Amino acid sequence: MANVTLTINSEQVTVPAGTKVLDAAREAGFFIPTFCHDPEAPGYGGCRICVVNIKGARSLMASCVTEATNGMVVETESPDVVEARKTILELLLANHPTDCLTCDKNGDCKLQDYAYRYGVGSSGFGGEKHSYPVDNSNPYITRDLNKCILCGRCVRTCAQVEDRQVIDFAYRGFQTRVAPAMDTNLAESACVSCARCVAVCPVGALTYTNLSGKGRTYEIAKKQVTCSFCDAGCQFDLNYKGDKVIGVTAKAPGEGRPLCLKGRLGMELRYSDQPLTPMLKKDNEFVEVSWPEALELEDVLAKLKELEK
């Protein structure tokens, strides 16, 4: 494939043609913030935090959707870029709770990281704030839409699984929010609690219910394990606090695979020192079930018992 050579922050960078400016810059070791960019579903260009200055361009360009071209001159931290990013952060913070104090995402939150990096302590924009009720109808996933920055990564990752596509944007303007069909809560929706969405959420809008209050992100060490329930090989993280596994979180689906609740529960039972109580939806209500039932092992167990006799 043909290469192109461009200049990023005075440094010559050569990349294959078709590479986006974002990837070219990151490859060369330069920092560019992103909210909506998902390497698994690139080319969205929604959040604009990744804007860079490209000489001759009519405006600051979103680097995640701008193709690198020969001779292009890019500045990733010029004063106008920094100013634009600060304004974006101020606008996001204008309608974001200030509860890092107890937020479970504290320490692993992109909004927080960038606010710190760019010194945006509070919003310069006073205005209305959302006051959505927190959706904890689902026993596994807590949705706090007050913290959502509408990056849409949850929507896109969910949509990658053909038969799911449970959530999408609804309403307009200030009212815009991510919602299941008919704007129900998660429990009433077709959600299968696979947690793909939680794995990609950059802020505290989607979190694991069972990990709430159990540890700050910086106290938790993660160790990757591969699920062995099926041949997909999805990746999960064991969350260690001290020497105890306090929970299992989804990391990434296997190639072309969906991730599933059964896999996560299986990992939970196998590794967690305090496994959660499994719940399954029956007649549109979540009810506690036995582990064999949660893991769909009842038939197998029954047959084994049969054989024993």
Sites of contact with another protein (CB under 8 A)? 93, 98-102, 106-107, 112-113, 115-117, 119-122, 213, 216-218
| Distance, CA of 62 to CA of 67 (rounded, Å) | 10
Site of tokens 């072309």: 256
Q: Tell me the torsion sign for CA atoms 255, 261, 263, 264.
A: positive
Which one, 5 or 217, has the nearer CB to another protein?
217
Please, are residues 47 and 84 in contact by the beta-carbon 8 Å criterion?
A: no
Which one, 98 or 176, has the nearer CB to another protein?
98
- With a CB cutoff of 8 Å and minimum separation 6, the contacts of 11 are 28
| Distance, CA of 277 to CA of 139 (rounded, Å) | 9
Q: Tell me the torsion sign for CA atoms 250, 256, 258, 263.
A: negative
| Distance, CA of 182 to CA of 197 (rounded, Å) | 19
Torsion angles phi and psi, residue 10, rounded to 5: 70, 5
| Distance, CA of 212 to CA of 208 (rounded, Å) | 7
Smallest gap from Cβ 178 to another protein, in A, equals 22
Smallest gap from Cβ 90 to another protein, in A, equals 12
| Distance, CA of 225 to CA of 126 (rounded, Å) | 45
Which one, 191 or 211, has the nearer CB to another protein?
211
Smallest gap from Cβ 277 to another protein, in A, equals 20
Which one, 92 or 280, has the nearer CB to another protein?
92
Torsion angles phi and psi, residue 98, rounded to 5: -105, 50
Smallest gap from Cβ 96 to another protein, in A, equals 9
- Polymer length in residues for the chain: 309
Smallest gap from Cβ 74 to another protein, in A, equals 22
Which one, 31 or 162, has the nearer CB to another protein?
31
Smallest gap from Cβ 103 to another protein, in A, equals 8
Smallest gap from Cβ 225 to another protein, in A, equals 23
Q: Tell me the torsion sign for CA atoms 150, 205, 201, 117.
A: positive
Which one, 121 or 124, has the nearer CB to another protein?
121
Bridge partner list, 14 = 5
Which one, 215 or 275, has the nearer CB to another protein?
215
